[in-house]
Amino acid sequence: KAGVTQTPRYLIKTRGQQVTLSCSPISGHRSVSWYQQTPGQGLQFLFEYFSETQRNKGNFPGRFSGRQFSNSRSEMNVSTLELGDSALYLCASSSQGTKNIQYFGAGTRLSVL
């Protein structure tokens, strides 16, 4: 069974640009969650999608958005990038939700210059 796949693995953008990250969950998993990981703040919850609906949201500005498609694949978008958005963005899939076992992808490393 294939694991969680995140693309791309690395991204370099400049301030003010926007970026879209992609996550393909484990087959059959309907919940996809996104996290931001930085050395200073650790791993912080962005949002969770379940069956194409955002079910839960963390404390991030509206520049961070996401969506989920009917095949459970999910995308995360960050608009008007800021230097502080440089981080490792992790996606996790689960059969039921964030409190069940989550399977993480390897992440997308975003650098904002």
Partner 1 sequence: TQLLEQSPQFLSIQEGENLTVYCNSSSVFSSLQWYRQEPGEGPVLLVTVVTGGEVKKLKRLTFQFGDARKDSSLHITAAQPGDTGLYLCAGDFGNEKLTFGTGTRLTIIP
The residue (of 48 and 85) whose beta carbon lies closer to partner 1 is 48
Give CA separation, 8 vs 23, 86, 90, in Å.
9, 15, 12
Q: Which of residues 38-57 bind partner 1 (CB under 8 A)?
A: 42-45, 48, 55-56
Q: Which of residues 67-106 bind partner 1 (CB under 8 A)?
A: 90, 92, 97-99, 101-106
35: β partners: 45, 90
Q: Residue type for 27, please?
A: S
Place of tokens 């440089």: 86
List interacting residues with partner 1 (CB under 8 A).
4, 33, 35, 42-45, 48, 55-56, 58, 90, 92, 97-99, 101-107
